[in-house]
A = this chain, B = another copy of it.
């Protein structure tokens, strides 16, 4: 089964567990709305790719972990879109949850998806209590405080930002969860898989900085300068557009080099290369060497 089918099937099964005759229908509808159709499902794809590279001997575990990770990611998007954060009217080409439903339902949708994500992993304890428990503690560490995505978002309310801690928590944490939960689901030690997740996360961050900077160039019609970059240091501000592209290539080479020795090492390197290509913004003509 292609990975995308595995992910959608596992997410569908998780969401089905929130339905009941005596459930509030608008909330359960919002849970589906917030998660389908998805974006690139890049985190669960990496998770399953790592699981496969490690032998994937218990696909029920890796499927549940993949669904849980994507549900958690969707929860973070719903809350990030709220008026008190990004105040985003649109998400994945349709109205954001608070626009389509209401702000109360958006808060509850995020909360419910967090709990559903956890529940989805917790249910696998019946199959393998040790792996389930390790996957759960990885998921909570990568999502809560002090090191997870909640902490990452929390840095934006600080008077002084620790940029390294901020990027690690806000962007890299869920990729670390992807590589480590993938390894655990297949009975492998998660420790050697930390670097791959952290480096993919860093690559995402630099790619985002590049996209923002190039968008500013296009929409503002001006070349990128430090003061256009929302006043916050980032890869483009520090290294320029060309330098940021070089940095991105270096990080991705490091990510591939960091893949621990495992049965599916070569195939996984290919997946990382393909995903890297898909996130790399096209370099504008003016910046080519």
Contact = CB atoms under 8 A, between A and B. Distances in A.
A27 B145 contact: yes
Interface string A33-56: 000000000000000000000000
B111 A84 contact: no
A156 interface: yes
The CB with the most chain B CB atoms within 10 A, among A85, A105, A123, A125, is that of A125
Nearest to A132: B133
Contacts of A157: 24, 26-27, 101-102, 104-105, 108
Contacts of A130: 129
A20 interface: yes
Interface string A143-181: 111111011011111100010110000000000000000
Interface of A: 18-20, 22-28, 31, 75, 79, 82, 84-85, 101-105, 107-108, 110-112, 114-116, 118-119, 122-123, 125-126, 129-130, 132-133, 136-137, 140-141, 143-148, 150-151, 153-158, 162, 164-165
* Smallest CB-CB A-B distances: 10 pairs: A23-B146, A27-B154, A115-B144, A125-B133, A24-B154, A129-B129, A84-B103, A20-B146, A119-B140, A22-B165
Contacts of A148: 115
